[in-house]
Amino acid sequence: MTPSPAPPPRLDVVTFGEVMGMLVAADDGPLADVTHYTRSLAGAEINVATGLVRLGHTAGWVGRVGDDPLGAHALAALRAEGVDTAQVTVDPEARTGFQLKSRVTEGDPEVVYFRKHSAGSRLAPSEATDAYLRGARHLHVTGIPAALSPTARAFTHRAMATARDAGLTVSFDPNLRPALWPDRAEMVRTVNDLAARADWVLPGLGEGRLLTGAQDPADVAGWYLARGVRRVVLKDGARGATLYDRAGGAWTQPVLPVRAVDTVGAGDGFAAGLISAHLDGLGPRQALARAAAVGALATTSHGDRDGLPTRARLEEFLRTHAAA
């Protein structure tokens, strides 16, 4: 008798969304004046998946890329990082989106998107992706896919329902992109509906205020906790982050000092560190410290993913910070 094939390896984390080619300006100044660019990749969810793999976890990303050079590069780069791409579809009818990003030495860069009708926006649910999700321990979701198209929004709802039914923990980062939504009211309504389906919600304080109407950080967190969320982590830029839980606990973590050159991707690094700590069974204070460290290190390079640390680099950074 032929033995049954072994089940696929269980992934620690699955995430999904759109990957885009990214052309990062090699010169300072406005994008309209730049003549030289370096190719890279962009996408909040692939940043999180990459960060988790570098920290020693297994992570898979679900999405669609075009049958074009940018799509081929994205797949090759993700596979080289060790991100599982078994549920990535190559779309023969739509192109991979891309963006231009300015070079800065401090603050936020200028970013211009070219993503309308992209392959990534054609993400849609299927039985195969349902099965893939059920093979993971944790699902990470952002508010971006739900803004891209009706099918991507349907995928988001079904992925979260599948994950909860299968016993996965679910994290949700609003990652608001107002330009992708038809209006603010729909953005707020949809993002809050998704947040209420998650175990943890990870907004920036400004996002939380916009989404809930509350101003005080504890009130923003309380708004989500009252709707069934187990943990809310509010990120407040240079003032650090605070984790609130349903039992009434609150823990604050200051920003860890680094020489930041590009803040894009800091929130994704923070999410990767927080999820990593959860997978390793760490408590709230240690989880916040790891999240803050990964987020800080993510800002030390010009690429969205280049500064994401390995486990060895993370531990070295935390030891150095503890000894300071």
Q: Is 166 exposed, middle or buried (0-12, 13-18, 19+ CB in 10 A)?
A: middle
Comparing CA positions, the residue from 158, 140, 161, 162 lying closest to residue 150 is 158
Cα separation, 187 vs 78, whole angstroms: 30
| DSSP assignment of 125-170 | --HHHHHHHHTEEEEEEESSHHHH-HHHHHHHHHHHHHHHHTT-EE
Residues facing 141 on adjacent strands:
172
Q: Catalytic residue at 262?
A: no
Q: How far is CA 144 from the centre of its chain?
A: 9
Cα separation, 122 vs 65, whole angstroms: 9
Amino acid letter, residue 156: T
- Strand 20-28 and strand 169-173: the pairing is unpaired
Which of 91, 199, 262, 268 is catalytic? The answer is 268
Structural contact between residues 313 and 297, judged by C-beta atoms closer than 8 angstroms: yes
Q: What is the CA radius of gyration of the chain?
A: 19
3-state secondary structure of 59: strand
Active site residues: 268
